[in-house]
A and B are shown apart, each in its own frame.
Chain A
Amino acid sequence: MILDYILRRLALLMFMMLTLSIFTFSLSYLFPGDALTNLSGITNSTFSQTSVLEEKFHFTENYAVQYFAFLERIVQGDWGVSFASGESVFQHIVDLFPATLELSTYALIVSVVVGVPSGILAAAYYRRWPDKFINSGTLIGYSMPVFWLALLLIMVFSLQLGWFPMSGRMGLLYEIEPVTGFILIDIIAGDFPYHGMAFVDAIHHLTLPTIVLAMYPTTVLVRFTRDSMLKVLDQSYIKTARAKGLNRAQLIIHHALRNALLPVIKQIGLQFSTLITLAMITEVIFSWPGIGRWLIDSIYQRDYPAIQGGLLAVSMFVILATIVAELTYTLFDPLSRNQAHGKV
């Protein structure tokens, strides 16, 4: 049963990847300029270079052959070279993606740690002052554009108070060997004398971007948890429990929580795609050396191979994350496995 479900999801994944790769491939033709240049990233190639490239990219043959050659190169990690740097696009992505992932992960953790309890609290005190307080806070957070919040925080905490730095992942004078690409892990695993200070510095740099990035998903999670909790609290088995004389804490912790959190788990996974999008804006503002900032720079510089590669990597990641989230959700909730077809 569960195997069947997983197979179905995998089929969907394959189909999505196929569509995505066809789209990415066609971009080389849709972008302005020479398609061969857009694919390979090699500009101003000499005549002999061009013929070698044509051979490699099967450029003289039909689109289908070219597409399969493209797929083969994608799998091999040969994603062309960036116009701007002249270096491998794939290498850029490998270098930059961990930074984005790290920021998004911390933001997600913060939003779960803050959002879920606040949602429960709001539901527990439905229409009383904690609920109103949390609700209005959520509304403000929800309506505030990410870039504006980021600039406000920089104005107050970096420029006025000087508590936090406004750019980068790390004080530049700390030389940290990127092993995993996750800065905190690299610092802990690395072997150098100024360990403690570097760690504190990295946390310092992380604070503002994490707050900015966590704002939107937190508010979504608060609202979602609150609604789901209220729905559960309205059900007959809760009323029965209350009639038997349980107090509010017992009711929520022992009876309502498990059922209320199920849909929230699914929502957490789905937040990842929103997070990656918001991370791009956050990265640009905080000069965070992640894939979002690089992608936006590439768009600005019309660096087609980089745009292509970046889009492919980010979309692939979002699709994967969504499917993994759904799978986990299914593990927690046996009922959902019975659906033969997708549900909106």
Chain B
Amino acid sequence: MYKPLLALSLVCLVGCLDSEEKTTEQKNQGLVYCAEANPVSFNPQVTTTGSTIDIIANQLYDRLLSIDPVSAEFQAELATDWKISPDGKSITFTLRKGVKFHTTKYFTPSRDFNADDVIFTFSRLFDVYNPYHFVGDANYPYFQSVGIDQLIRRIVRVSDYQVRFELYNAESSFLANLATDFAVVLSKEYAMQLKDRKQENLFDQYPVGTGPYVYREYRRDRLIRYYRNPDYWKHPVVLEQLVYDITPNGTTRVAKMLTKECDVTAHPSSAQLSILAERDDINVQKEQNLNIGYWAFNTERPPFDDIRVRQALASAIDVDKIMQAVYYGNGIKAQSLLPPASWAFEAQKAMPEFNPELAKTLLAEAGYKNGFDMNIWAMPVSRIYNPNARKMAELMQSDLRKIGVNVSIVEYEWNTFLQRVGEHRHDSVLLGWAADTPDPDNFMSPLLSCTATFSGKNPANWCNPEFDLLLTQALDTTDLEKRKQFYNQAQRIIVQELPILPIAHGMRFQASSSDVKGISLSPFGGISLANARKE
């Protein structure tokens, strides 16, 4: 039976498939997206890792509301409408009817999405009586860093399709936080089924959502497979299958674009963009993005607890050289923590400039005339805010050697790396942050607040009550001018204290085959493939 097959295969070894014209229907059987890392989890609540969010958040789940990338206004998703009380302390959401959760091998929903799911999802974040609160060590990095546990008093079920969030105080960024990729809605029915079976730990690994694709399988270091959600409420999904090919090496991802093994690739390195741009059958997209690549010091660990040492190290770095060698001119040199596209941005005059002589003087003042040994942890993956941390670390190594500081570069696998940085085992680390909402608070609270220190998000291990007070004040008012002032002061403190040195804002790149349509890059948040199709 397989003889003709074998003969066919031998013929095809010389590449007969390439000449075959494929119909649109055949093409839309599936899309392969080359991703740069394994997902940490399949629940966006429990992680802030951008590579993971790109893969899971917009594909498997929906949020109550989202932010339009162009007009920056809120858009209805699972909530069709929301009303804020005059004091701003209670918000009532009206929920969409007829939304179905995914039917998978491990779960079949018996009812539609309703208020119970919303209450379950959000109470997990702060309510110790929620049976899932302590699953996965009660670690909700994003929500903890913005202090959601001190914000929501309770969530009330008004009716099947209405819920009311009651807050301790009005906070201007609350709705924006609900619109982030982390605030997805999960199924209560599924959670309770797992609880009855005492398999709560599977909840974050085998996802059930309402999004455009349904989870099928995940094989570590190889692939993640989703199928189309036939019941998607928003619009019909064209692609039958969506497969993530996990390819950590950036050059391999570019090569796979050339051999057509990937249809879309995340974060092609800017060094290789020109190769891709030359090809007619590959499109390269380039988009402004709200992000920051920085160098964080472990401020609890000597000598980095001395502000003069941090200033000295900061002024020893030639950022212009980094902009050329690492960003290839496709980035903006940072003038503050916030990118210029943010409404609260103000260029900081006190930003350290390249001045090795000053650096030496400062080091001598701090008592390190002969320098010292330190390490720089370089993130092993390419992200928007830092396309090549290893190279950046090497450049900094040579800069720092000139002022007598010996640097060793440390690298780990990405998930291990983040975990160890969270435990503050580093001297200094090259990392970054890509915004989830246009709200400036999204840059500050998750990164540098005291609560972020405790949840392991604050890579500088830095807790400054004055800075935290400014953030709270900025959140307590809805007056844009006042908020702007508070954020200006906060930005100033960062540049003066230098818990982190802002380096650059990167551009977001994406390469896709020219027959792939419907993937748009947003200036914030993860990527969405809901509308992707091939033509």
Chain A residues at the B interface, C-beta cutoff of 8 Å: 83-85, 87, 154, 158-159, 161-163, 165-168, 171-173, 175, 188, 196, 199-200, 203-204, 207, 287, 289, 294, 297, 300-302
Q: Which one of A167, A175, A200 lies within 8 Å of B252 (CB-CB)?
A: A167
Q: Which one of B8, B225, B243, B256 lies within 8 Å of A200 (CB-CB)?
A: B8
Known: A84-B413, A84-B416, A175-B225. A207 touches B220 (CB 8 A): no
Complex alpha-carbon distance, A167 and B253, angstroms: 10
Number of interface residues of B (CB under 8 A): 36
B residues in contact with A163, CB < 8 Å: 13-15, 18
Q: Which one of A171, A196, A297 lies within 8 Å of B8 (CB-CB)?
A: A196
B residues in contact with A161, CB < 8 Å: 15
A162 close to B416 (CB less than 8 A) = no
Known: A172-B223, A188-B2. A301 touches B258 (CB 8 A): no
How many Å from the CB of B408 to the closest CB on chain A? 16
Tell me if B5 counts as interface (CB < 8 A to partner A): yes
How many Å from the CB of B340 to the closest CB on chain A? 38
Complex alpha-carbon distance, A238 and B220, angstroms: 59
Complex alpha-carbon distance, A238 and B256, angstroms: 56
B residues in contact with A294, CB < 8 Å: 221
A203 close to B13 (CB less than 8 A) = yes
Known: A172-B32, A297-B221. A199 touches B259 (CB 8 A): no
How many Å from the CB of A136 to the closest CB on chain B? 26
Q: Which one of A159, A173, A203 lies within 8 Å of B258 (CB-CB)?
A: A159
Interface centre among A161, A175, A289, A294 (most CB of B within 10 A): A175
23 residue pairs A–B, Cβ–Cβ below 8 Å: A84-B413, A158-B259, A159-B258, A159-B259, A162-B259, A163-B14, A167-B256, A167-B261, A172-B223, A172-B225, A172-B243, A172-B245, A172-B261, A173-B29, A175-B217, A175-B225, A199-B9, A200-B5, A200-B8, A204-B12, A204-B17, A301-B413, A301-B416
B256 close to A162 (CB less than 8 A) = no
A residues in contact with B259, CB < 8 Å: 158-159, 162, 165-166
Chain B, range 22-47, C-beta contacts under 8 Å to A = 29-30, 32
B2 close to A289 (CB less than 8 A) = no
Complex alpha-carbon distance, A196 and B258, angstroms: 25
A199 close to B14 (CB less than 8 A) = no
How many Å from the CB of A237 to the closest CB on chain B? 41
Complex alpha-carbon distance, A294 and B256, angstroms: 20
How many Å from the CB of A13 to the closest CB on chain B? 33
A287 close to B247 (CB less than 8 A) = yes
Interface centre among A84, A159, A161, A188 (most CB of B within 10 A): A84
How many Å from the CB of A97 to the closest CB on chain B? 15
B residues in contact with A85, CB < 8 Å: 220
A166 close to B9 (CB less than 8 A) = no
Complex alpha-carbon distance, A196 and B412, angstroms: 42
How many Å from the CB of B331 to the closest CB on chain A? 28
Tell me if B216 counts as interface (CB < 8 A to partner A): yes
Tell me if B255 counts as interface (CB < 8 A to partner A): yes
B17 close to A200 (CB less than 8 A) = yes
B residues in contact with A196, CB < 8 Å: 5, 8
Complex alpha-carbon distance, A333 and B487, angstroms: 86
Q: Which 7 A-B pairs have the closest CB atoms?
A: A173-B30, A163-B15, A172-B243, A301-B413, A203-B9, A200-B9, A158-B259
Complex alpha-carbon distance, A2 and B492, angstroms: 86
Complex alpha-carbon distance, A171 and B32, angstroms: 9
Known: A175-B225, A196-B5, A300-B413. A162 touches B15 (CB 8 A): yes
B residues in contact with A173, CB < 8 Å: 29-30, 32, 241, 243
B residues in contact with A159, CB < 8 Å: 255, 258-259
How many Å from the CB of A71 to the closest CB on chain B? 28
Known: A84-B413, A207-B13, A294-B221. A175 touches B255 (CB 8 A): no
A166 close to B261 (CB less than 8 A) = yes
Q: Give me 19 other A-B pairs in contact (C-beta within 8 A), A84-B413, A300-B413 excluded.
A: A83-B416, A85-B220, A162-B258, A163-B18, A166-B256, A168-B222, A171-B261, A172-B30, A172-B225, A172-B243, A172-B261, A173-B243, A196-B8, A200-B8, A200-B9, A200-B12, A200-B17, A203-B13, A289-B221
Tell me if B517 counts as interface (CB < 8 A to partner A): no
B residues in contact with A168, CB < 8 Å: 222, 245, 261
Tell me if B391 counts as interface (CB < 8 A to partner A): no
How many Å from the CB of B480 to the closest CB on chain A? 44
Whose C-beta in chain A lies nearest to the C-beta of B244?
A: A172
Contact with A along B250-266 (1 / 0, CB 8 A): 00100110111100000
Complex alpha-carbon distance, A87 and B118, angstroms: 32
B residues in contact with A200, CB < 8 Å: 5, 8-9, 12, 17
Chain B, range 410-450, C-beta contacts under 8 Å to A = 412-413, 415-416
Q: Which one of A162, A175, A204, A207 lies within 8 Å of B260 (CB-CB)?
A: A162
A residues in contact with B30, CB < 8 Å: 172-173
Known: A162-B18, A173-B32. A289 touches B222 (CB 8 A): yes
B residues in contact with A167, CB < 8 Å: 247, 252, 256, 261
How many Å from the CB of B435 to the closest CB on chain A? 29
Complex alpha-carbon distance, A158 and B243, angstroms: 21
How many Å from the CB of A282 to the closest CB on chain B? 15
Complex alpha-carbon distance, A199 and B18, angstroms: 16
Chain B, range 494-514, C-beta contacts under 8 Å to A = none
Whose C-beta in chain A lies nearest to the C-beta of B8?
A: A200
B residues in contact with A154, CB < 8 Å: 255
Complex alpha-carbon distance, A83 and B18, angstroms: 42
Whose C-beta in chain A lies nearest to the C-beta of B224?
A: A172
Complex alpha-carbon distance, A297 and B216, angstroms: 26
Complex alpha-carbon distance, A166 and B245, angstroms: 13
How many Å from the CB of A205 to the closest CB on chain B? 10
B residues in contact with A188, CB < 8 Å: 2
How many Å from the CB of A212 to the closest CB on chain B? 15
Whose C-beta in chain B lies nearest to the C-beta of A159?
A: B258
B412 close to A301 (CB less than 8 A) = yes
Complex alpha-carbon distance, A230 and B110, angstroms: 77
A residues in contact with B247, CB < 8 Å: 167, 287
B residues in contact with A289, CB < 8 Å: 219, 221-222
Complex alpha-carbon distance, A87 and B5, angstroms: 38
Contact with A along B200-243 (1 / 0, CB 8 A): 00000000000000001101111101000000000000000101
A residues in contact with B222, CB < 8 Å: 168, 289
B residues in contact with A172, CB < 8 Å: 30, 32, 223, 225, 243, 245, 261
How many Å from the CB of B39 to the closest CB on chain A? 12
A residues in contact with B8, CB < 8 Å: 196, 200
B residues in contact with A204, CB < 8 Å: 12-13, 17
